[in-house]
Amino acid sequence: MELLRDTYVVINLDRMKENMKLIRDYVGKDVAIAAVVKGNGYGHGALDIAETIMENGGDYLAVATLTEALELRKRFKEYGIFIMGYTPDEYLRHSVDNDFIQCIFSKRQAEILAELGSESNKRPIVHIKYDTGFNRLGYRDCQESIDEIIEITKMENLDVQGIFSHFALAGDPANRKQFNDFMNAVEKIEETGFKFRYKHICDSISAIDYPEFNLDMIRPGAIIYGLKSFRKNDIDIKQVLTFKTKVYHVKEIKKGEGVSYNFKWKAERDSVIATLPVGYSDGYPRNMTEEGMVTLRGERAPIVGVACMDQCMIDVTDIPGIQVGDEVVLYGDGSNNTLSIEEASKLGKTNKNELIARITRRTPRVYIKDDRVYKILNYLTEEI
């Protein structure tokens, strides 16, 4: 198992296992967990975390796109895979062929799926997206929508398993209004005698802060990866990912010399500059320029000059003895003076999920299991 690069991320599956167990204990055995692994598992590698998730409390894997679902199905033939986003009509046959749970929000798509199911002797499973104010996807909250959903529930060749919505997380009053609007709509539909197996509205934040809203299913994402955004309650999850690189060049420069494009940064004193083999093609944000900090030898060093596609530079003048090969932590868990993902996201003027989801497949993943290196994954040199 060769790493082949000095820039890589470490994925601690032991921590992910414990996070999943904590989530399961928190929501109880009667609430299904549709674990969100879209965006390549928030940068953690969906294929290589799926088993840990499913063996430790996950009931389904949830993705955003058909292609993400197809990638998972190649390896996992039996897992329940839920496509939460829109699948164009012309590609719905792939959803049926691969037994995906499909999000829909139109009678037209329900009819297409029912027809495809009839042709293949299947009953495609769907969850209906109901918009309670997020204004992204889903049926509008009105009687006309409810009437159409009732028609869909009566289709013989369709398994209408669930209905779901999504919080905008605009504050407690807005959250409670969304929940009440959702439940009022569900009640009107179920008054006809039809009963949904799954009703769900909670993501990571709302699942912890509003346990009374968890219903039959939750859709946790960030908390699986140890990223906290709770405002009311808490569970003791641990950050799973660490982003590392190594120093691969050290040079001394004189006061007044510039570094990187346009010399946006110039040395105000004689300085020692270390170059790192990581850039925005690896997912390290370009807007970390003169904002970001990294940790080496237990000390923090600032990013200087414009961060490049493949490299960035740090000022190590105040950290004596830095050498080529020294380990550098870009994102840690906050221990040993490292930047947690939360702190790094603030410096990068983004949120935690985006920061890790943007880590590209050029960057190898090192998986830790049972306190040892379990697997090294180089996407660019390994066939899936």
Q: What are phi and psi of 128, to 5 degrees?
A: -90, 130
Give catalytic residue positions. 38, 261
Mean pLDDT within 69-93: 98
| Confidence check: pLDDT of 229 > 90 | no
The CATH number of the domain holding residue 79 is: 3.20.20.10
Cα dihedral sign, 252-257-263-266: positive
Task: Please state, for a pLDDT cut of 90, what percent of the chain lies above it.
Answer: 96
Residues 187 and 278 in one domain: no
Number of continuous H segments (helices) and E segments (strands) in the chain = 11, 20
- Residue 150: exposed, middle, or buried by beta-carbon count in 10 A (0-12, 13-18, 19+)? middle
Determine the structural domain holding residue 172 and report its residue range: 14-225
Report yes or no on 87 lying in a domain.
yes
Instruction: Quick: pLDDT tens for 2-28.
Output: 899 999 999 999 999 999 999 999 999
Instruction: Quick: pLDDT tens for 130-154.
Output: 999 999 999 999 999 999 999 999 9
| Confidence check: pLDDT of 259 > 70 | yes
Task: Please state, for a pLDDT cut of 70, what percent of the chain lies above it.
Answer: 99
| Confidence check: pLDDT of 60 > 70 | yes
Q: What is the CA radius of gyration of the chain?
A: 24
* Boundary residue ending a domain (225, 252, 281): 225
Report yes or no on 233 lying in a domain.
no
**Does 365 carry a binding-site annotation?**
no
For residue 383, the model assigns a pLDDT of 62
Instruction: Quick: pLDDT tens for 332-369.
Output: 999 999 999 999 999 999 999 999 999 999 999 999 99
| Confidence check: pLDDT of 384 > 80 | no
Residues 170 and 257 in one domain: no
Residues 158 and 247 in one domain: no
Residue given tokens 């802060």 in the structure block: 209
Average of per-residue pLDDT values in the chain: 96
Mean pLDDT within 170-182: 97
Residues 62 and 185 in one domain: yes
Q: How many domains does the structure of the chain reveal?
A: 2
For residue 230, the model assigns a pLDDT of 84
Residues 158 and 57 in one domain: yes
Among 8, 10, 5, smallest CA distance to 238 is for 10
Mean pLDDT within 113-125: 97
Residues 66 and 176 in one domain: yes
For residue 382, the model assigns a pLDDT of 81
DSSP code string of 298-349 = TEEEEEES---SS-EEEE-TTSTT--TT-EEEEEB-SGGGPPBHHHHHHHTT
Instruction: Quick: pLDDT tens for 268-317.
Output: 999 999 999 999 999 999 999 888 999 999 999 999 999 999 999 999 99
Tokens of 236: 């003791």
* Boundary residue ending a domain (225, 259, 275): 225
**Does 140 carry a binding-site annotation?**
no
* Boundary residue ending a domain (193, 225, 257): 225
